[in-house]
Amino acid sequence: MKRKIGFLLDMDGVVCHNMPAHETAWTSFFRGRGIEIDLDDFRANTMGMPTREVLRYYFKRDVSPEEARAAALVKETLYRKLYLPERAPAKGLLPFLKGARAGNYRIGLGTGSRDDNVAFILDGLALRSWFDAVVDGGMVTRGKPDPETFLILADKLGLPPGNCVVFEDSLLGEEAARRAGMPVVAITTSHREDEFKYAAFKTRDFTELTPTKAAALLSARDDASTRRAAPRQKSSRPPSTPSW
């Protein structure tokens, strides 16, 4: 019987190309508090994290849930104002989702963003109906690079982790997928191709990707694991005779 396969999509930078608006909002937020952020550092070390973890990283101290909520209100309000005029699904996303649904693949969304930002994208772009399950930043205790987001999402889809392919634009998300035992499709909207260490496939958007091609990454992963686990063939040549 054909196994069930799930596609687990990150949201920001994958479902839509909105990371520039997020970066501008974060830059403005921290500048107003006397902190200049380096975007390369931001992308490598905080992209994909829940708001509270981003604040901890730059404030260099603990942040209470109340402080995180207040900060998020300021930053996310600015982000949505910036991105609203440009809000659109990623290139090729809708054909990919339609093909995945027709192929009976399960589709999930796993993001570190808050539920209001999820609504801003999924409901604002009429995409929610394509997803069988959603896990947002408020539903986990450990954000990416911890694998919790993707493990919970796989469980919600009724699938073992080994049957899932992750679509990520961030290095922390790539690491989370690796720890979850899931092959990764790297969407290179936020990082160069060479920055992804573990991705099985790299692409700028969904125009070069079909559900069949994505699902094949699982077979390739399984075949590679089988080859590594196979015992080495013993030589059939007779042992050499000592010369003494």
Do the beta carbons of residue 231 and residue 215 sit within 8 Å? Answer: no
Cβ neighbors of 38 (< 8 A, separation 6 or more) are: none
Structural domains in the chain, sorted by start = 6-16+89-227 (3.40.50.1000), 19-86 (1.10.150.240)
Average pLDDT per run of 10 along the chain, which is 244 residues long?
A: 91 97 97 96 91 95 96 96 98 98 98 95 98 96 95 98 97 97 97 96 96 96 76 52 36
User: What CA–CA distance (Å, rounded) separates 157 from 59?
Assistant: 36
What angle, 0 to 180 degrees and rounded to 10, lies between the N-to-C axes of helices 19-31 and 65-83? 130
Write down the H helix ranges in 130-236: 148-156, 171-180, 211-229
pLDDT of residue 239: 47
Residue 231: what pLDDT? 66
Picking from 119, 101, 103, 144, the residue whose alpha carbon sits closest to that of residue 15 is 119
